[in-house]
């Protein structure tokens, strides 16, 4: 049966563009084995005239009657009747770019066909049948299982930008050069479709830079928000002196369009629906904005469970259709190309024959991004999808950014201060390239007064990018180089102009009230290489109401503008007191500098409706962590009007404003602080204030009834607000009124409750009756614990190692005031909550919570309480706690036993990729101690099995309650196929108590980075043979091939003593190694052996590659890094062949002071060696050689002429 779990990749086709161009998306149907699918159909809304029905009715009839299917139902993909949807449909259908005769665009054309009990094979056949019908635009099978994404507050965060080498020059994208020009993304919005993002990270929370799209509330998925946070960090992390720096920090907004949302769930019964998220993007992004598709899908070759072959999201038909239309509408789409597979290292080739139907669709308009290496070679990484469809590459490895996506650091343990040093995949490449696109578009908008198209930006970045390594045939394209790109833009556009609105405005427009004067600046940029002496500006107002606005000066000049600098000129606009309301004008600025002219314009709205500006859209829980909202208010500023009430008065909810979705027990207060400002605060304490209760749909609207003027319109009056809670667990604190006596408590039978008796000197401060019953029953706590009971207003703390209760403030404990240890009815054990103000607790079951401190670390816990119908009795049924912050939850009704817990459950291979382990694991022990407080546990005190060969585990004792598990050595086999599960046991004798507690046995996974890496060298031959010239020279060249590693240099020679060493080399010969590619080299022997008779042949020439020869810097791990060769000589004359000897002659012999090389030859080189083979002299281009400085003895002389070369033996007198 097809389970309607989600609408994972049903993506709306804003499809007039594709229809207009006659492109068909039919064909290429397939399904992913082992996964359930849904059938997506897009209808041609003209219907089937032969049946006299519209397309939807025709589809139902065809499925039920023609195909005789049972259990058929159709479901909507979109909220078809929303105002945004209707406005968008109108925009599309009236667009001048649509072809005559095109179908009317409608969201209702997209349907999910649900067929009970249909298998994948049956769905495939049904889809093929449907695509044969004229009333169907296309059908597609979409897998229901969601694929993986394609990977400063106190305490102070360090500056980590030194890790972001991608910000600099090659191998980076040269973002720092763009910043030097003042280009940081201003004026451009960024949309990102994926699962979630942390809006409250310290890198952007103060600026409110990162937000959720309106009408989309992400659901919690297995992917969390770490991936989206990493993407946002690459792009918009603020330049604040700590953490990371984003490439385009001044982008207007980073908007998360959730592909799995609560709203989609409410509409379809399933939260997974990329289409729903992309529908929101089309209505919230403008032409020129950048839309990043951080999505991928299964390709034609699915690869099986766990080995999926991922390709770009646009491989699915509706996504392609959507992307093409968005590009035609002016939105710049940047698409991640997909991580070829989830576990293997093989990327898909989109030029392969099985992807022909995909290529036949044509170009969608998206800028397609692959993953490349982080070095200067810019090779495609193995897992990245590739092919001619790809335009650009970004780093797919080692990208430092924000977030918890397998994060490396959380400052202070805070997820809002989490950072990662090695984000990767096309997930990282996509935002790197998208940031460069934003930078270029920002320059065009801000300085050139226009928007660039996707094709223009693509061409610019491709043509000016750093090329992919020439020897890499798996095409993903160049890496953007913003310096080269901007140098071209500056050369092609010698001047730039920006109009600044000093007053401020909305959406870059200028608002001008009647009788108001606004000061404006025009900034003129000199992009040339020399000073610009003068730029002349002519200002004009265009529009029906132009006469109602005056300009102080129509002709201006900017003088002496330095190279790459700018100058500003100032002028004023004044609106008449009787200017027509809501009139729109255009300010046009024509700038001329020499032969260069640039025209920019800005819209002016005269006498606008009143409007509101909001200081923030986020409320945060106070540090008390009890559901109370902090005192920081959201300031609302009213422009072009005043509030009707005076400062200090409160606007009325329901009359002056409306507020929806306010959490239980919170109250809104909207207080006017001046005629034009008001502050919104939230009072009370939220009943549910766990992280999972965060609010993202607190909808407020300020009504015109709040205004003094009685205006009929108010702009920007509605706002979606957020509430951010701090609690990590579901702990609901029961409030308790003061001085109302006691309630009853019942402990369930079958439970064993233990307690501690806590005394207090002044009982009257807590209990209304002033009696002497000062005990407070609670759960058993260890002697070294600091126990904090949550009260209605404050916490009370049990002082460590005492039973004294320290009262921190007013408020009453929500725990029994006496002990209990067996089942039964305990009268007067809890404070009454029977007053009318607490009736919402009557008859309810919920949890009251507390936290305690173990070894200086806070631990959360709670007790389940059931309140009877009149609030006079409680049943305490269970408790739960976690022994380490963020650790797993334990539940029970007995004392807290000793427990061993582990920080993480995985050991990961280090970045060296050599089989070594890069992390350690911290072990915590509660309510017992280890047998020693320092040193190491010996091999009788712990047991480990399943450890890969070559690795050794040790247990270092940090103190009596903490161990550090360390793995040393190098695994002999360390590919992903060699991942292992290791069982670790702390034996009884490791503990002071002599008993192994809960958690003393656990399993760890050991994860390696990639496919099995066994670097090795192979040689084409093992013998060097003398040349036929019989002169001691060697003719053989031996080819070297390296696998599973790279040589450290390409197309250069290695140096003996640095990259290699050699032994037993015959005198007169020299070993040379030339690198011909990253994985190939040639070994040759140059020179002439002094002794080269056949008896001089050797069997033991040793050539060894050293560490410096390899990228891994580890020669020991490379098999056959040392080669042993033979050198074979052929001749019988150890000095010179007879034929060669006849071509020149040397005399006299013996020689005194001068030797002559005679014969009809040109002498190139003469070298003189002593009998040990040491060179004593060398002469170039002379046939008369001085011997006066050479001692008496026998010498071998090497002579090279234009016709021959050889050795002769000479005696020096």
Per-residue pLDDT, 846: 53
Q: Domain 1016-1128: which CATH class?
A: mainly beta
Q: If pLDDT is split at 50, 70 and 90, which confidence band does 399 have?
A: very high
Q: How many CA atoms lie within 13 A of 184 on its CB side?
A: 14
CB-CB contact of 1142 with 1129 (8 Å): no
Residue 1148, preceding bond cis, omega within 30 degrees?
yes
* 515 has a pLDDT exceeding 90: no
Q: Is the dihedral of CA 330, 331, 332, 334 positive or negative?
A: negative
| Segment holding 555, helix H or strand E | strand 555-561
Q: Is the pLDDT of residue 824 over 50?
A: no
| pLDDT for residue 987 is more than 50 | yes
**Is pLDDT at 1057 greater than 60 in this prediction?**
yes
Residue 164 has pLDDT above 70, yes or no: yes
How far is Cα 1131 from Cα 1133, in angstroms, rounded to an integer?
6
* Rg from Cα positions in the chain: 39
- Give percent above pLDDT 90 in the chain: 25
Question: How many percent of the chain have pLDDT more than 70?
Answer: 74
Distance (Å, rounded) from C-alpha 160 to C-alpha 158? Answer: 6
Same fold, 161-492 and 1139-1212: no
User: For residue 294, which of 145, 422, 200, 428 has the smallest C-alpha distance?
Assistant: 428
Count Cβ neighbours within 10 Å for each residue of 1009-1035 and write b for 16 or more, e otherwise: bebebebebeeeeeebebeebbbbbbe
Q: Bigger pLDDT: 867 or 741?
A: 867
Contact 701, 720 (CB under 8 A): no
Report pLDDT for 595. Answer: 86
Q: What does the pLDDT look like over 1086-1102, one tens digit per residue?
A: 988 888 877 788 888 99
Is the model's pLDDT at 895 over the cut of 70? Answer: no
What DSSP designation does 65 have?
I
Domain ranges of the chain: 16-143, 161-492, 495-606, 611-724, 744-892, 899-1007, 1016-1128, 1139-1212
Give me the count of residues in the chain: 1213
User: Taking the C-alpha atoms of 193, 353, 327 and 369 in order, what is their torsion angle to the nearest 10 degrees?
Assistant: 50
User: How many Cβ atoms sit within 10 Å of the Cβ of residue 118?
Assistant: 22
The answer for residues whose C-beta is within 8 angstroms of residue 762's C-beta and 6 or more apart is none
Enter the tokens of residue 320. Answer: 């392609």
Structure tokens at 215: 């009408």
Is 90 exceeded by the pLDDT of residue 473? no
Which of these CATH numbers, 3.40.50, 3.30.200, 1.10.15, 2.60.40, describes 899-1007? 2.60.40
Backbone phi, psi, residue 1108, to 5°: -65, -10
From residue 1052, alpha-carbon distances to 345, 448, 1070, 1078, 1083 in Å are 29, 46, 17, 10, 13
DSSP H or E segment with residue 826: strand 824-831
Of the listed ranges 359-363, 374-378, 774-778, the one predicted with least confidence: 774-778
Residues 308-313, mean pLDDT to the nearest whole number: 85
What is the b/e burial string over 416-442, where b = at least 16 CB atoms within 10 angstroms of the residue's CB?
bbbbbebbbbbbbbbbbbbbbbbbbbb
Asked if 876 and 865 touch (Cβ cutoff 8 Å), the reply is yes
- Nearest CA among 121, 35, 133, 24 for reference residue 358: 24
Least reliable range by pLDDT among 40-44, 510-514, 544-548, 964-968? 510-514
161-492, CATH topology level: Rossmann fold (3.40.50)
Model confidence over 619-665: pLDDT tens digits? Answer: 988 755 557 788 889 999 998 888 999 999 999 999 999 999 998 77
Residue 853 has pLDDT above 50, yes or no: no
For residue 1139, the model assigns a pLDDT of 36
pLDDT of the residue at 821: 36
Is 1026 within 8 Å of 1034 (Cβ atoms)?
Answer: yes
| CATH fit for domain 611-724, picks 3.30.720, 1.10.10, 1.25.40, 2.60.40 | 2.60.40
Query: Would you say residue 765 has pLDDT above 50?
Result: no
CATH of domain 495-606: 2.60.40.10
Separation CA 190–CA 192 (nearest Å): 7
Its pTM stands at 0.54
Residue 183, both tokens: 């280009």
Residue listed under structure tokens 């399993």:
1003
Residue 487 exposed, middle or buried by CB count within 10 Å (0-12, 13-18, 19+)? middle
Q: Of 176 and 284, which is predicted with more confidence? A: 176
pLDDT at 883 exceeding the cut of 50: no
Name residue 1003's beta-bridge partners. Answer: 983
Query: What pLDDT, on the 0 to 100 scale, is given for residue 997?
Result: 78
3-state class (DSSP) for residue 638: strand
Instruction: Take residue 313 and report the two structure tokens written for it.
Output: 């999201």
Span 1139-1212 CATH architecture: Sandwich (2.60)
Q: Which range has the worst mean pLDDT, 265-269, 305-309, 563-567, 812-816?
A: 812-816
């Amino acid at each position: 049966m097809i389970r309607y779990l989600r609408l994972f990749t049903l993506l709306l086709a804003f499809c007039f563009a594709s229809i207009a161009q006659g492109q068909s998306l039919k064909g290429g149907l397939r399904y992913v084995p082992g996964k359930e699918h849904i059938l997506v159909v897009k209808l041609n809304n003209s219907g089937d005239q032969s049946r006299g029905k519209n397309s939807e009715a025709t589809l139902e009839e065809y499925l039920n009657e023609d195909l005789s299917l049972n259990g058929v139902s159709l479901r909507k993909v979109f909220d078809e009747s929303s105002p945004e949807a209707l406005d968008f449909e109108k925009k599309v259908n009236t667009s001048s770019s649509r072809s005559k005769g095109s179908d009317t665009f409608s969201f209702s054309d997209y349907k999910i066909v649900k067929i009970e009990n249909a298998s994948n094979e049956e769905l495939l056949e049904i889809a093929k049948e449907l695509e044969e019908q004229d009333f169907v635009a296309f059908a597609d099978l979409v897998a229901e299982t969601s694929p993986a994404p394609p990977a400063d507050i106190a305490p102070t965060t360090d500056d980590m930008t030194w890790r972001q080498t991608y910000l600099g020059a090659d191998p980076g994208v040269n973002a720092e050069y763009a910043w030097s020009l003042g280009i940081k993304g201003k004026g451009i919005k960024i949309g990102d479709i994926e699962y979630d993002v942390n809006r409250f990270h310290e890198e952007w929370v103060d600026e409110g830079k990162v937000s959720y799209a309106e009408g989309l509330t992400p659901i919690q998925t297995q992917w969390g928000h770490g991936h989206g946070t990493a993407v946002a960090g690459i792009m918009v992390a603020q330049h604040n002196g700590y953490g990371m720096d984003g490439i385009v920090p001044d982008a207007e907004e980073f908007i998360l369009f959730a592909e799995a949302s609560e709203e989609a769930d409410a509409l379809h019964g399933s939260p997974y629906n990329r289409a729903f998220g992309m529908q929101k993007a089309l209505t919230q992004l403008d032409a020129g904005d950048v839309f990043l598709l951080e999505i991928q899908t299964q390709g034609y070759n699915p690869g099986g469970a766990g080995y999926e072959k991922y390709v770009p999201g646009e491989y699915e038909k509706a996504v392609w259709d959507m992307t093409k239309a968005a590009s035609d509408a002016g939105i710049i789409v940047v698409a991640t190309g997909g991580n070829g597979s989830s576990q293997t290292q093989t990327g898909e080739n989109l030029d392969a024959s099985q992807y022909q139907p995909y290529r036949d669709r044509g170009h969608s308009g998206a800028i397609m991004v692959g993953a490349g290496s982080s070095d200067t070679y810019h090779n495609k990484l193995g897992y990245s999808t590739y092919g001619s469809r790809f335009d650009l590459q970004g780093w797919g490895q080692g990208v430092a950014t924000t977030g918890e996506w397998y994060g490396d650091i959380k400052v202070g343990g805070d997820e809002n201060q989490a950072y990662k040093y090695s984000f990767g995949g096309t997930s990282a490449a996509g935002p790197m390239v998208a940031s460069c696109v934003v930078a270029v578009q920002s320059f065009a908008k801000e300085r050139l007064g226009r928007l660039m198209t996707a094709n223009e930006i693509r061409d610019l970045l491709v043509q000016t990018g750093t090329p992919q390594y020439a020897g890499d045939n798996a095409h993903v394209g160049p890496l953007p180089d913003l310096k080269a790109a901007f140098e071209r833009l500056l050369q092609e556009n010698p001047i730039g102009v920006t109009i600044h609105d000093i007053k401020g405005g909305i959406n870059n427009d200028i608002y001008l009230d009647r009788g108001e004067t606004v000061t404006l600046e025009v900034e003129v940029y000199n992009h040339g290489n020399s000073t610009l002496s003068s730029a002349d500006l002519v200002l004009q107002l265009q529009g029906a109401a132009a006469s109602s606005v005056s300009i102080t000066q129509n002709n201006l000049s900017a003088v002496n503008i330095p190279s790459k600098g700018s100058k500003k000129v100032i002028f004023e606009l004044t609106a008449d007191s009787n200017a027509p309301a809501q009139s729109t004008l255009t300010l046009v600025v024509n700038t001329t500098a020499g032969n260069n002219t640039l025209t920019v314009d800005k819209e002016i709205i005269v006498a606008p409706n009143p409007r509101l500006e909001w200081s923030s859209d986020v409320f945060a829980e106070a540090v008390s962590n009890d559901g109370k909202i902090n005192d920081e208010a959201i300031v609302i500023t009213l422009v072009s009007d005043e509030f009707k009430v005076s400062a200090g008065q409160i606007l009325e909810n329901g009359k002056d404003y409306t507020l929806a979705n306010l959490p239980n027990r919170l109250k809104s207060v909207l207080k006017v602080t001046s005629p034009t400002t008001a502050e919104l605060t939230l009072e009370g304490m939220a009943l549910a204030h766990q992280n999972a209760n965060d609010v993202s749909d607190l909808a407020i609207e300020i009504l015109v009834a709040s205004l003094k003027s009685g205006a009929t319109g108010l702009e920007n009056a509605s706002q979606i607000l957020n509430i951010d809670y701090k609690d990590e667990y579901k702990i609901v604190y029961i409030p308790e009124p003061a001085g109302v006596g006691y309630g009853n408590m019942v402990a369930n039978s079958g439970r064993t409750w233990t307690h501690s008796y806590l005394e207090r000197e002044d009982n009257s401060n807590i209990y209304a009756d002033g009696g002497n019953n000062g005990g407070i029953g609670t759960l058993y706590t260890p002697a070294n614990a600091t126990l904090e009971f949550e009260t209605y207003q404050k916490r009370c703390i049990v002082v460590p190692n005492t039973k004294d209760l320290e009262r921190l403030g007013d408020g009453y404990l929500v725990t029994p005031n006496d002990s209990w240890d067996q089942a039964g009815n305990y009268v007067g054990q809890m404070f009454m909550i029977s007053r009318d103000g607490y009736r919402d607790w009557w008859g309810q079951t919920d949890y009251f919570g507390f936290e305690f401190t173990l070894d200086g670390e806070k631990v959360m816990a709670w007790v389940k309480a059931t309140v009877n119908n009149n609030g006079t009795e409680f049943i305490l049924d269970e408790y739960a706690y976690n022994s380490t912050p963020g650790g797993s939850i334990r539940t029970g009704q007995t004392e807290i036993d000793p427990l061993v817990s582990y920080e993480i459950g995985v050991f990961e291979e280090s970045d060296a990729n050599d089989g070594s382990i890069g992390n350690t694991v911290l072990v915590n022990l509660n309510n017992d101690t280890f047998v020693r407080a320092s040193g190491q546990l010996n091999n009788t005190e712990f047991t480990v099995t399943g450890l890969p060969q070559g690795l050794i585990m040790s247990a270092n004792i940090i103190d009596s309650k903490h161990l550090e598990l360390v793995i040393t050595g190098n695994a002999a086999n360390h590919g992903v196929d060699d991942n292992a599960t290791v069982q670790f046991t702390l034996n009884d004798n490791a503990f002071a108590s002599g008993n192994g507690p809960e958690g003393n046995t656990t399993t760890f996974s050991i994860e390696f980075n990639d496919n099995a890496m066994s670097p090795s060298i192979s040689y084409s031959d093992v013998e060097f043979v003398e040349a036929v010239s019989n002169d001691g020279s060697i003719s053989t060249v031996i080819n070297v091939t390296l696998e599973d590693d790279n040589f450290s240099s390409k197309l250069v020679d290695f140096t003996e003593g640095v990259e290699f060493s050699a032994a037993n080399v015959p005198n007169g010969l020299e070993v040379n190694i030339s690198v011909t590619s990253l994985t190939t080299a040639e070994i040759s022997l140059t020179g002439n052996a002094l002794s080269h008779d056949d008896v001089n042949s050797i069997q033991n020439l040793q050539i060894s590659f050293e560490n410096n020869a390899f990228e891994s810097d580890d020669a020991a791990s490379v098999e056959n890094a040392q080669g042993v060769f033979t050198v074979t000589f052929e001749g019988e004359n150890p000095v010179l062949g007879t034929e060669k000897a006849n071509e020149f002659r040397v005399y006299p012999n013996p020689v005194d002071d001068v030797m002559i090389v005679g014969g009809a030859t040109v002498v190139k080189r003469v070298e003189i060696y002593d009998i040990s083979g040491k060179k004593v002299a060398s002469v170039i281009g002379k046939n008369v050689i001085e011997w006066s400085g050479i001692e008496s003895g026998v010498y071998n002389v090497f002579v090279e002429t234009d016709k021959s070369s050889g050795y002769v033996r000479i005696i020096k007198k």
